[in-house]
Amino acid sequence: MESASTAAATSAELYRRACAVMPGGVSSPVRAFGSVGGTPVYFQSACGSRVRSEDGREYFDFIGSWGPLILGHAHPEVVQAVQLAAARGTSFGAPCRDELLLAEKIVELSPVADKVRFVNSGTEATMSALRLARAATGRDLMVKFDGCYHGHGDPFLVKAGSGLATTGESSSAGVPQAVSGQTGVLPLDDEAALEAWFEQHGADTAAVFVEGVPANCGLLVQRPEWMAALRRITREHGTLLVVDEVITGFRLAPGGVCELEDYAADLVTYGKVIGGGLAVGAYGGSHALMDRISPQGGVYQAGTLSGNPLGMAAGLAALRVLEDEDGWARLEQIGQAWQQRLEPLLQREAAAAAPLALQRQGSIFWLCFGTSEAPRRFDAIPAAGADRYQRFFHALLDDGVLIAPSAYEVGFLNLTMSEDDLDQAAAAFARALELSR
Ligand SMILES: Cc1ncc(COP(=O)(O)O)c(C=O)c1O
């Protein structure tokens, strides 16, 4: 078989040109292959679970555009809905019927949202939810957890400071200290850290943000006791709990993690799946909270393309297929089938003193290299695992299987993945594990 490195001449040339006109050659940093090395692959088309590169190679895809493509690429019903919508006009800058229908569907399925506001990305959803939480509480501070990602809004680009109950330091150039100083960063899985923060800052803390299941630094599944403590402490202090379901919403269950866990969130943020592969985000909460948003209330938030007919049509089509085809139950079956194929590989690696752990929630999975026990917090992820991941990634890529170009990113399963597909992918994983030891 021709290896990816020799076959990737077109991608390499496109990337060389892109680097001249785009920072790092990409529109989003992880795409540049910085942590695995090599040259990003350019894709020209995709169908189901398969993506075709500009170099003419086909790959089996576990990235799924980082989560939106729960039905697989170019699902016929989504494509048709977008085509029909586009033919009627791509944007009116005015309300449209599909926007109402998608809002009604989200409100029907979400255990948190009595009302929903559409935006164009998960980043906009979390930024807007934070503004709303600050307005509703009259407080400025917020808390996030180490390893959780909530988009690239300034208040979220903050890493842990030196003490447990102190605010953090910016993790990006260009974020003023005045902004990062309003964000506390706590470890996951640690009730004592929560208590310490709230003892000191409870009366000033507007919101705690947590991912439904933290899935941006591996898949850090939390203990129910910790989630209960988080809910109890925030409630005791009049702090709003914002569950960021940009990844998990409408993926792990119709109502996301907020349906599965007793989080009783005050606000929820969505993205990815609700846009069917187009640029859609949303945030929602109770009538009382959401009625604070303009034009009804004084919290300003707007968007030229928010609720645009294409994104709304794609999202509606995706949710319709999931509902009609028993999508969530089937995704769980596909997840179980994938796990069954990976587990013997983990045993083999453990026997070869090259341990790795599998974490899976429904159709999201993560392999953590360097330990046989899946971690619950960021600082428990073995840093050394990233070296092996790099070799593993390239061995898979050479074999025609695409996983995220970072050891800290999860994999996504979709509804088109068949038993045969999973057999073949597992065989490729077995080969790549052996090659990467
Ligand atoms: C949990 C979570 N929140 C927010 C975001 C930001 O979403 P977007 O990339 O659409 O701005 C992401 C993106 O991956 C995410 O995973």
Rounded-to-integer distance, Cα 262 and Cα 185, Å:
23
* pLDDT tens readout for residues 89-123: 999 999 999 999 999 999 999 999 999 999 999 99
Cα separations (Å) of 176 from 122, 139, 171, 173? 22, 19, 11, 8
Strand, coil or helix: 165 = coil
* pLDDT tens readout for residues 205-222: 999 999 999 999 999 999
Ligand 1, atom 3, residue with closest C-alpha:
150
Ligand 1, atom 7, residue with closest C-alpha:
122
- Report H helices in 157-308: 177-180, 191-201, 224-236, 256-260, 287-290
Task: Provide the whole-model pTM.
Answer: 0.97
| All residues at 6 or more sequence positions from 248 whose CB lies less than 8 Å from its CB, including other chains | 211, 212, 213, 215, 256, 257, 361, 364
Give whichever of 5-9, 123-127, 379-383 has the largest mean pLDDT.
123-127
**pLDDT score for 164:** 67
* 47-69: average pLDDT: 98
**pLDDT score for 167:** 84
* 318-322: average pLDDT: 98
Residues 197-220, buried b or exposed e (16+ Cβ, 10 A)?
bbeebbeebbbbbbbbbbbbbbbb
Please confirm whether the linkage preceding 187 is cis (ω < 30° from 0).
no
Q: Among 27, 128, 130, 150, name the best residue to mutate to test ligand 1's pocket (greatest count of ligand atoms within 8 A of Cβ).
A: 150
| pLDDT tops 70 at residue 7 | no
Domain assignments of the chain as residue spans, ordered by start: 4-74+326-436, 76-324
Q: Tell me the average pLDDT of the chain.
A: 96
Q: What percentage of the chain carries pLDDT values higher than 90?
A: 94
**pLDDT score for 1:** 41
**pLDDT score for 414:** 98
Rounded-to-integer distance, Cα 260 and Cα 11, Å:
42
Q: Which atom of ligand 1 is nearest to the CA of 67?
A: 14
Catalytic residues: 149, 244, 272
| pLDDT tops 90 at residue 351 | yes
* 9-33: average pLDDT: 96
Give 19 Cα–ligand 1 centroid separation in angstroms. Answer: 24
* pLDDT tens readout for residues 118-176: 999 999 999 999 999 999 999 999 999 999 999 999 999 998 877 767 788 999 999 99
| pLDDT tops 60 at residue 5 | no
Residues with Cβ within 6 A of ligand 1? 66, 121-123, 126, 149-151, 211, 216, 244, 246-247, 271, 281
* pLDDT tens readout for residues 254-301: 999 999 998 899 999 999 999 999 999 999 999 999 999 999 999 999
**pLDDT score for 160:** 80
| All residues at 6 or more sequence positions from 271 whose CB lies less than 8 Å from its CB, including other chains | 68, 121, 122, 125, 246, 249, 280, 281, 282
**pLDDT score for 399:** 98
**pLDDT score for 50:** 98
* 69-78: average pLDDT: 98
CA distance from start to end of the chain: 22
Is 36 within 8 Å of 379 (Cβ atoms)? no
Rounded-to-integer distance, Cα 391 and Cα 409, Å:
15
Q: Residue 289 is encoded by which pair of tokens?
A: 């909270």
Architecture of the 4-74+326-436 domain: Alpha-Beta Complex (3.90)
**pLDDT score for 277:** 98
* 351-371: average pLDDT: 97
Q: How confident is the model at residue 6 (pLDDT cuts 50, 70, 90)?
A: very low
**pLDDT score for 2:** 44
CATH annotation of 76-324 = 3.40.640.10
